[in-house]
Amino acid sequence: MPPIYPVRDIFVQANGLRHHLLARGAPGSPVVIMIHGLAGQAHTFDGIANILAAHYHVYCLDVRGRGESEWGPPDQYHIDTYVEDLEAVRQALGLQRFAIVGTSMGGLIAMHYTPLHPQHVSRIALNDIGPEIHPEGLQRILAYIQNAPEMFADIKAVVRYYREHYTPMVAHLSDDQLTEFARYNVRRSDTGVYVWKMDPAIRTAPPKPPATPPWDAYRAIQCPILILRGAQSDVLTPQIAQNMLQANPNARLVEIPNVGHAPLLTEPEARKALQAFLAEEHTTDPR
């Protein structure tokens, strides 16, 4: 078992909102920024962030409207705003060069941020996401996002919800592990029920495509790219992944067996691939 590294809560004012990050590892080490998916939050990465903290200064970001970050205007929950947020957070932290690990929506943020700010990004890992999302996976995600209950009687009900609706991601987790995973997504309200720690407007926000077409943004990335694909993913299909390899010569692909959308990155194959990928970058200037 790896040692447990202390976690520091960091709040920064960026792009008009207060943003929250979890930090692990020693300042002065190479920096890794981890960005979660659509309905996630920073604690999604607790397992892998603790592993990476042995060699990196790891920041896990709560994207606006999630976790402990401030909620924003209802019409500002889209990729272009998240990219602006990331740059503002970077400036607030004083970071100059870092790697990005993005799961699902977090990968889309990384994909659009990197060509705009290539001087700051050493490499990116895209976790089960690409410039194109298979319609079947997209509809499944939208269904559980839009139809989620507003509240739960107790934490056991939250765990049951995740067991039923996040099967591709959590099927291999024990109930105790799933409880630990789920509990950061909710808070206990004044009335005693559990409610989401996510702005309800995110669930109903109309889709707004990014200013740069996703394939154009992806092709413009000049740094190394690691594509991690859950072998059972209905979001990043084998064909889309192969198209990504052909579209950008800087990309490589690793499939994670027995998991769908999206790997938690603690799976042995995902962990080893990510550690090896990050270790190739020997830049030690974290600021």
131-143 pLDDT, tens digit each: 999 988 888 887 8
Mean pLDDT in residue range 52-70: 97
Sequence spans of domains, the chain: 8-134+209-279
Enter the DSSP assignment of 4: P
179-215 pLDDT, tens digit per residue, is 988 899 999 999 999 999 999 999 888 889 999 999 9
Predicted confidence at residue 282, as pLDDT, reads: 58
The structural architecture, per CATH, of the domain 8-134+209-279 is: 3-Layer(aba) Sandwich (3.40)
Residue 15 to residue 136: CA distance in whole angstroms: 34
Mean pLDDT in residue range 166-171: 76
pLDDT at 286 over 70: no
Predicted confidence at residue 148, as pLDDT, reads: 84
Angle of CA points 170, 59, 92, to nearest 5°: 140
Mean pLDDT in residue range 139-161: 87
Enter the DSSP assignment of 258: T
Residue 125 to residue 244: CA distance in whole angstroms: 13
The pTM (predicted TM-score) of the whole model is 0.93
Percent of the chain with pLDDT over 90: 78
256-276 pLDDT, tens digit per residue, is 999 999 999 999 999 999 999
CB neighbour burial string for 16-40, b if at least 16 within 10 angstroms, e if fewer = ebebbbbbbbeeebbbbbbbbbbbb
Tokens matching residue 60: 């896990």
Tokens matching residue 210: 């990014």
Please, what is the angle between helix 175-182 and helix 155-165, to 10°? 100
Residue partners of 216: CB distance under 8 A and separation at least 6: none
pLDDT band at 234 (very low <50, low <70, confident <90, very high): very high
Other C-beta atoms closer than 10 Å to the C-beta of 224 total 19
